[in-house]
Amino acid sequence: MRLLLIHAEYFEYRAREKAIDQAEELDGRREGRFSNVLVVMTTVEDDDCKDPESVVERACEAVLDVFNRVRASRILVYPYAHLSPNLAPANRALEILKLFEEKLRSRGVKVHRAPFGWYKEFSLKCYGHPLSELSRTIKPSAERRRVVEKRYLIMTPDGKIYKPEEYQFREGEEEFRILVEKEVFKKELEGGIGRVHYYLKKFGFEWEPFSDHGHMRFQPHATVIMEAVSEYAWLVAASLGIPVFRVRGTNMFSLSVEPVRQHAELFGERMYEVRMDGDRFVLRFAACHQQFSILRDWVLSYRDLPLGMFEVADSYRYEQRGELVLGFRLRKFHMPDLHILAKDLEQAKQIVLLVREKIFEEARKLGRDYLAIYNVTQDFFEQHLDYIKELVRREGKPVLICLYPAGIYYWVINVEYIIIDEMGRPREIATWQIDVGNAKRFGIKYRDADGSEKYPVIIHTALIGSIERYIYMVFDTIARVERSGKPPTLPTWLSPIQVRIIPVSREQLDYAMSVAKKLAERGIRVDVDDRDESLGRKIRDAGVEWIPYVVVVGEREMKTGTINVRIRREGVQKSMTLDELLKMLEEELRGYPRTPSALPMLVSKRPSLPYLQPLKES
């Protein structure tokens, strides 16, 4: 808080016009005239919002000290936004100014406050003595981070509960041991860069050097993978068996909107902020703000629930620079956020069973299984212990439980699903949580059968995790496969190029193009290597790109109307018809999106893409 204190023989002002939309009502304070007054020109700064009580108390002490020494008859708190460029949001500034006024008045002083948010004319005559013009800067006390006391337990599928230090790890629980040692006992894990980092760079997932560190750019191959996973996330959400609505929205929300501010404070993560037009905005850390803003405007009945709302939301978290990991821990990422409205907690608990099964189903499709951390409030744990035991029974393996005090967050249970990556590090991928606070906070209501208005319970979930983290898990799985001696291969639905046609000579180019066009008509990402290179070079280059199906056509294939297909995953070469290849591809791609290619069909029309190089050994 910045203060300019003027001991004035007289001071008068008149409000002329609103300076901001949030200007307060005048309530008889359009003008004021005072004599022997200590004018306290006051700028409320952004940092004051962290601990307003402390700031106001110390501001009062500073002002009263001067007030008593100059023997003024009254104090005028005069909002004055010109003492600092670092202004608090308008709504918070007004709250703090009112608090300042009340605190001064409670000390037995005559206090007036000029209206906030108005352009005002004023005139004054300053006494001119040594104490008649002073300035003060009031800083908030050092930020006091909320220390949340939490304790850990381990629950096994048979419902038994252990203290982590007493738990006896069984055979096959080495990954669970890694998780417990890191989360509970804070064991430091070895650093280093694994194969996933090189895979990502190979396919064009890169840091953007022209931006804030932690933001990625996506070359053509990476773009296809990102778009395919984004579309797949929607298909997964829509397959839950409940109505789901897909929306889009902005990524910036005003902290002057009270529910946005409250939710941001409860979220508690590092946030990006933007200042414009005297207001302070937060870049969203998930799709919550946008979806809640839409849902509060819907007229909902109990018959409409459950329903879901989905968006792939560009999301921002100001992660520490040393924590950033390409493709995993980012400052900007894409969250396929699904929010499901349930009538009450009991319905939410049943829907979570479907959500949980879908999360595991998607992991199993990649050949992975999850470990789980159950973050649970103490009251929910005690009141719904049987439900938690049922969840853990369905996990089929031990679960780490972290107990939190009741009422400190908007959720009562928040589950993180973890893989142990190729480097032996826990990596959170998917998640769900039950939110009992935000419906009321944002004004989301439904009308029940008896006509009463009620607030739904909200399930937050990312069924496959963020887009980038899902891709991280895909490549981490490939690293495990490669370690076993098999060639690294992307699932066909994610391969940037699914089929490459290689004519042996220029005479077969027309035939190769006719095959490619028929594949493209079926939504297959296909290209033709028409370069003047040797057949061996072309086949090697297709291998560098991990293309799952490489079709070689020569004079014999052109005469017989067949194709020669190299299948990367199986390491075999087969002669077949185009219809047989299409049948294989259709079977393999069933249930997955058909995302268009990001490159020209002819390989000769592409520059030498620097990211498509043979992998360097880590």
Classified as helix, coil or strand, 316 is: strand
Give me the pLDDT at residue 161, please.
Answer: 98
User: Residue 462 domain-assigned?
Assistant: yes
d(CA 470, CA 429): 7
Same domain, 251 and 155: yes
Same domain, 537 and 569: yes
**Start-to-end CA span in the chain (Å):** 53
- Whose CA is closest to 613, among 238, 118, 116, 203? 203
Same domain, 126 and 244: no
Is residue 88 within 8 Å of residue 49, measured between CB atoms? yes
Give me the pLDDT at residue 456, please.
Answer: 98
Instruction: Copy the structure tokens of residue 298.
Output: 């819907």
d(CA 329, CA 53): 36
Instruction: Copy the structure tokens of residue 481.
Output: 């496969």
User: Residue 528 domain-assigned?
Assistant: yes
Domain count of the chain? 3
- Whose CA is closest to 470, among 235, 284, 233? 233
Give me the pLDDT at residue 615, please.
Answer: 58
Give me the pLDDT at residue 617, please.
Answer: 45
d(CA 611, CA 31): 68
Instruction: Indicate the residue type of 262.
Output: Q
Residue 311: beta bridge partners? 337
User: Residue 516 domain-assigned?
Assistant: yes
Is pLDDT of 410 > 70? yes
Q: Give the percent of the chain with pLDDT over 70.
A: 98
Is residue 553 within 8 Å of residue 539, measured between CB atoms? no
Is residue 343 within 8 Å of residue 349, measured between CB atoms? no
User: Residue 596, preceding bond cis, omega within 30 degrees?
Assistant: no
- Whose CA is closest to 461, among 240, 158, 219, 141? 240
Give me the pLDDT at residue 273, please.
Answer: 83
Q: Which residues, in sequence order, are CB contacts of 404 under 8 Å at separation 6+?
A: 148, 150, 375, 376, 377, 378
Block residue for tokens 């990402």? 525
Count of C-beta atoms within a 10 Å radius of residue 260: 21
Same domain, 517 and 447: no
pLDDT (tens digit, 9 = 90+) per residue, 542-597?
Answer: 999 999 999 999 999 999 999 999 999 998 999 999 999 999 999 999 999 999 99
Same domain, 444 and 535: no
According to DSSP, residue 512 is labeled H
Is pLDDT of 618 > 50? no
Block residue for tokens 């804030």? 212
Same domain, 133 and 155: no
| Residue range 149-168: mean pLDDT, rounded | 96
| Residue range 11-29: mean pLDDT, rounded | 92
Give me the pLDDT at residue 269, please.
Answer: 61
pTM of the full predicted structure? Answer: 0.83
d(CA 116, CA 98): 10
> Strands of 252-254's sheet, edge to edge?
252-254, 279-283, 273-276
Give me the pLDDT at residue 268, please.
Answer: 62
Same domain, 267 and 216: yes
Is pLDDT of 204 > 80? yes
pLDDT (tens digit, 9 = 90+) per residue, 471-523?
Answer: 999 999 999 999 988 999 999 999 999 999 999 999 999 999 999 999 999 99
- Whose CA is closest to 545, among 574, 523, 525? 525
Count of C-beta atoms within a 10 Å radius of residue 57: 14
* Domain final position from 442, 475, 508: 475
Same domain, 464 and 532: no
User: Residue 44 domain-assigned?
Assistant: yes
Classified as helix, coil or strand, 6 is: strand
* CATH code for position 569: 3.40.50.800
Is pLDDT of 430 > 90? yes
User: Residue 173 domain-assigned?
Assistant: yes
Is pLDDT of 616 > 60? no
Is residue 25 within 8 Å of residue 11, measured between CB atoms? no
* Residue environment code for 148-159, b if the CB has 16+ CB neighbours within 10 A, otherwise e: eeeebbbbbeee
* CATH code for position 47: 3.50.80.10
Same domain, 459 and 565: no
Instruction: Indicate the residue type of 334.
Output: H
Classified as helix, coil or strand, 80 is: coil
Q: Which residues, in sequence order, are CB contacts of 591 under 8 Å at separation 6+?
A: 235
User: Residue 594 domain-assigned?
Assistant: yes
Q: Give the percent of the chain with pLDDT over 90.
A: 84
d(CA 479, CA 488): 7
| Residue range 427-454: mean pLDDT, rounded | 97
Is residue 586 within 8 Å of residue 579, measured between CB atoms? no
| Residue range 151-177: mean pLDDT, rounded | 96
| Residue range 360-380: mean pLDDT, rounded | 97
Q: Which domain holds residue 170?
A: 151-475
Same domain, 287 and 393: yes
Task: List, as one string, the DSSP characters of 428-497.
Answer: EEEEEEEESSHHHHHT--EE-TTS-EEPPEEEEEETT--HHHHHHHHHHHHHHHHHTTSPP---GGG-SS
Q: Which of 99-103, 137-141, 295-299 has the lowest mean pLDDT?
A: 137-141
d(CA 208, CA 217): 5
Is pLDDT of 35 > 60? yes
User: Residue 182 domain-assigned?
Assistant: yes
| Residue range 241-268: mean pLDDT, rounded | 88
User: Residue 482 domain-assigned?
Assistant: no
Task: List, as one string, the DSSP characters of 340-396.
Answer: EEESSHHHHHHHHHHHHHHHHHHHHHTT---EEEEEEEHHHHHHTHHHHHHHHHHHT
Same domain, 130 and 162: no
* Domain final position from 98, 115, 137: 137
Same domain, 514 and 469: no
Give me the pLDDT at residue 490, please.
Answer: 97
Sign (positive or negative) of CA dihedral 127, 129, 131, 134: positive
* Domain final position from 111, 137, 163: 137
Residues belonging to the chain: 618
Residue 608 banded pLDDT, cuts 50, 70, 90: confident
* CATH code for position 418: 3.30.930.10
Residue 147 banded pLDDT, cuts 50, 70, 90: low
Report the mean per-residue pLDDT for the chain.
Answer: 93
* Residue environment code for 561-574, b if the CB has 16+ CB neighbours within 10 A, otherwise e: ebbbbbebbeeeee
347 burial level (CB within 10 Å; 0-12, 13-18, 19+): middle
Count of C-beta atoms within a 10 Å radius of residue 290: 20
Sign (positive or negative) of CA dihedral 359, 363, 365, 369: negative
